[in-house]
Structure formats: structure tokens, C-alpha cells
């Protein structure tokens, strides 16, 4: 049976389980260097490193992190 050469459709925005560093930086309006400064200070959202070295963020962890920041600012 031949394998399909078509790529699967990209999920709708907001439905993917993991976010990229570029998406996080864009959402927060920060540069990568700012993110890495926050990460060194343990102030960044939780993330994990893929075997290729890229960082990924679980959407649920990121949303909880934002919520904690919001609650702390009240």
C-alpha cells in the first residue's frame, strides 16, 4: 500500500497541545533574549527541550503560568 505524501492539516489555532518559543515570545511581546533572561532567573513559563534542542511549552502549563501572574498582580 503506497504511503500518503500529503501533510496532515494544521490544527486550528488554539487547539495544538504544545507551543513553540517563537509563539510564546510573540504572545508575550518579548524577544528571545528576554525569554532566556527570564528562564535563567526561573521566571519563565515551564518548558521542555526536544531531542533537537528546541523548546516546547505545554499550552495548559503556559495558561496556568499566565493565570498565576495575573492573580499575583491583583
- pLDDT for 18 equals 96
- pLDDT for 16 equals 83
pTM above 0.85, yes or no: no
Contact call for residues 31 and 21 (beta carbons, < 8 A):
no
**HSE-CB for 33 with a 13 A CA cutoff:** 0
Alpha-carbon distance values, 28 to 12, 15, 20, 34, 62 (Å) = 20, 19, 12, 10, 11
* pLDDT, tens digit only, all 74 positions of the chain: 555 454 444 555 556 899 999 999 999 999 999 999 999 999 999 999 999 999 999 999 999 999 999 999 99
- pLDDT for 21 equals 98
Amino acid at each position: 500500500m503506497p504511503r500518503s505524501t500529503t501533510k496532515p492539516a494544521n490544527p486550528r489555532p488554539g487547539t495544538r497541545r504544545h507551543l513553540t518559543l517563537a509563539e510564546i515570545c510573540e504572545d508575550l511581546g518579548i524577544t528571545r533574549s528576554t525569554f532566556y533572561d527570564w528562564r535563567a532567573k526561573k521566571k519563565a513559563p515551564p518548558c521542555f527541550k526536544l531531542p533537537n534542542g528546541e523548546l516546547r511549552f505545554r499550552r495548559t502549563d503556559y495558561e496556568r503560568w499566565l493565570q498565576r501572574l495575573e492573580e499575583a498582580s491583583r
